[in-house]
Structures are given as C-alpha cells and as structure tokens.
Structure 1
C-alpha cells in the first residue's frame, strides 16, 4: 500500500521550530511563544480591528495588560501552551497569528482554546496550521477535548468548528460554547468537508516540516 496511507495512522511529532508554507505559498516560521515575544504581541494587538479584538477577548479591549502578556508568554507547553507563526519574508512584522490553550481546572483531559490571526493573513490557512499544532501538543499532554467560547456573530469560526466535527455545548447571551475532540492523526479527522480535509492534510505535512 502507498506510504502516504500509512502516514495517516501516525501521530506527527512537532519540531520545536519549523518552516511551513500557507495555502497561498507564504513562507512562515512556526514555534511556541516565548517570554521575549511580549513586544510582538503588543504590536500585533495594535494592528487588530476593534471587531477582531472583541471576537478574541469576548469584550471591548483597548490594550493588553502586563498580566495578560505574562499569561500569554508564561508557558510549559503542557498545561498552558501557545504557538505562533511569522512571515519569513517580512520578519519585522509582529507576526501572522497565535493559538493557545489552557487546561481546565478540575478536568485534566480538557482545555480552553483561543486562536487569533491578523486580518491580512486570514483565509490563507494560518489558523488551521496553528490549530493543528495545538491539537498535537495537547494530545502529547494527555488532553482529549478542546472547548471554544465564540461570539455568535463570528460565524466563520463557528463554521470551521462545525466542519471539524464540533459539538455545540450551550449558549450564554451572545456567546456560544463549542467543543472538539483532539485530533492527533490525519485518519481521525472527519473528511466530509473541505475544511476538515485541509486540516487532515496539514497534520500530514507537519510530520515532514523542515526545521527552521
């Protein structure tokens, strides 16, 4: 049988830092966030529209506090993990996007997730790439389900969660809660939608991504 078929049964092992290409060919560098990324986070936040900030933080936020920056960059990649990527051709930019999870208190097998991609890079696959990195990191840490709190007007992201097999967990005012099982092998991702097939393909590619 083709080697590619066997690869769908494997769990890719993420490099600590690697190169990747987005759907449109944009070359990016991907790695976990670090303490010295604070300035990049502030610069990236400054580029976000008020709508994007509200969708990310579920409230109108005008600036990131020192405490928030510390929470975003104080990571063990087990209970608290975050991955970011930057455009290799434009290294002075703050970055392309960030995805993070935090294990839930009282439930060692679940974690809350948040994903942010700057508007300029949306629609190129950066969100799915960072999302896949979180899934692989979480699986290695023993986490088996992700939870997402999403504003009801963020239909694009809700559609992605649905396409990946998401489950609606409830609603509080204008915030919906969704969940997803952790996918660590390409074969486990449902293939009924183009988004799910892209996610599966990214999982395969991560196992072959070259070191940065």
Structure 2
C-alpha cells in the first residue's frame, strides 16, 4: 500500500481525498471561472518545468488563446481537472486535461502538469486516474501522451503507470489502454494509479 486513504465524496464533480502524505485535497474540473488561477499556476512553474510542458524556452508561457482552449467547456470531448489544497486554493498543486481525437474517437490525448514543489507526492497518478475514469465514462478507450526524451522523470512515470512507449525520432509517444488494467505494473506509481482507479470508479463510472 502507498498510504492512499480510500476516502471519496463526489459532489457536483468535486472529489474529496488525501495525498499519500495525508494532505487533504479536492479534485475538481476547471471552467472559465478558474482562468486567473490556472494562469497563475503556469506562471509559477520553474523554467525547466515550463520547457518540459511546452517544449520551448522563450516566449509567452500561456496566452489568452491557450487559456480559452484549456477552459472551454466541451462535455464528452474535453475536460481539465485540478488538484487543490483547500488551505491555499488556487493555483492548486497540479492540473491535467484530456482531448478526444477527431480522427479516432476512441482515443484522447492526456497531458499533466504538477507544480515543482508538489512533485513526487502522487499528484500525477491521482490526476491520471481521475482523467482516465472521466474519459472512459464518455467512451474513450485509449490515452496518448507525449514527452521529450530528455524528460526522464516523465518517461519513467508513464512507463511505470502502464503506458507503452514509441519513439518517432523527435518525441516519445506513450499509449495507455484504459480498458486493460492488467497492463498497470504492480509497483511504484502503478500501485498508486490502481488504488486511485479503485477509489473513484464507483463515483465516476
């Protein structure tokens, strides 16, 4: 066990739970009313985290057009979720989104960002589980994610949560089979993911 407490209350798409270290957190979908908080969260990322997330080292971090795209309500095809520490509220500790593919409606792109000071606390696995179940409830069967090969932490985490890797000569492409839980490794982040899926499945599916 990783110390995850199986406490889950869903109220208007709000999940109450705890991180592995016991910190009480709330997981909720974001909308236009959270625009300023989301922008502030991205501003707080370190230069290295900004590069790993956006793959650029210069220019505007997150503009109005990107905020519009992230926060546009599109039930069944796109959602963005955040993990919030009630003691500090926005900008929270991390956020993740999924977008259904126009070419393959069974597949959606998953992306995740965790603030530097809140990494290695299980936030990524929590967000992956919530997005996983949310997307499945809308008929998505596969997740795809992308990262640069030098982002060894993300590469390891994606593999440890059961994604299969493919190199296209520029980036690493990872794919999760949302319907096959047997592909989730029984160790490390895989255990945390499996526990979160079990914790929330009754509320979200």
Give 2:85's aligned residue: 87
Aligned length: 194
Give 1:181's aligned residue: 177
SS in 2 for 1:179: strand
- 1: distance between equivalents of 2:75 and 2:167? 28
SS in 1 for 2:91: coil
Is the 2:162–2:185 contact (alpha carbons within 8 Å) kept by the matching residues of 1? no
Is the 1:13–1:207 contact (alpha carbons within 8 Å) kept by the matching residues of 2? no
Is the 2:10–2:16 contact (alpha carbons within 8 Å) kept by the matching residues of 1? no
Give 1:112's aligned residue: 109
Is the 1:81–1:102 contact (alpha carbons within 8 Å) kept by the matching residues of 2? yes
- Structure 2 unaligned blocks of 5 or more: 1-7
- 2: distance between equivalents of 1:14 and 1:134? 14
Is the 1:171–1:177 contact (alpha carbons within 8 Å) kept by the matching residues of 2? yes
Is the 1:102–1:113 contact (alpha carbons within 8 Å) kept by the matching residues of 2? yes
Larger RCO (CA within 8 A; separation ≥ 6)? 1
Is residue 48 from structure 1 mapped to residue 42 from structure 2 by the alignment?
A: no
Give 1:72's aligned residue: 70
Is the 1:102–1:111 contact (alpha carbons within 8 Å) kept by the matching residues of 2? yes
Is the 1:21–1:27 contact (alpha carbons within 8 Å) kept by the matching residues of 2? yes
- 2: distance between equivalents of 1:143 and 1:13? 24
- 2: distance between equivalents of 1:183 and 1:164? 14
- TM-score (ref. length: structure 1): 0.84
Match of 2:188 among 180, 185, 194: 194
Is the 2:160–2:189 contact (alpha carbons within 8 Å) kept by the matching residues of 1? yes
Is residue 20 from structure 1 mapped to residue 17 from structure 2 by the alignment?
A: yes
- TM-score (ref. length: structure 2): 0.86
SS in 2 for 1:96: strand
Q: CA deviation at 1:63?
A: 2.6
Q: CA deviation at 1:183?
A: 5.0
Is the 2:122–2:189 contact (alpha carbons within 8 Å) kept by the matching residues of 1? no
Q: CA deviation at 1:206?
A: 2.2
Q: CA deviation at 1:81?
A: 1.2
Q: CA deviation at 1:13?
A: 10
Is residue 98 from structure 1 mapped to residue 95 from structure 2 by the alignment?
A: yes
Match of 2:151 among 150, 154, 165: 154
Coordinate RMSD, CA, aligned: 2.2
- Structure 1 unaligned blocks of 5 or more: 1-11
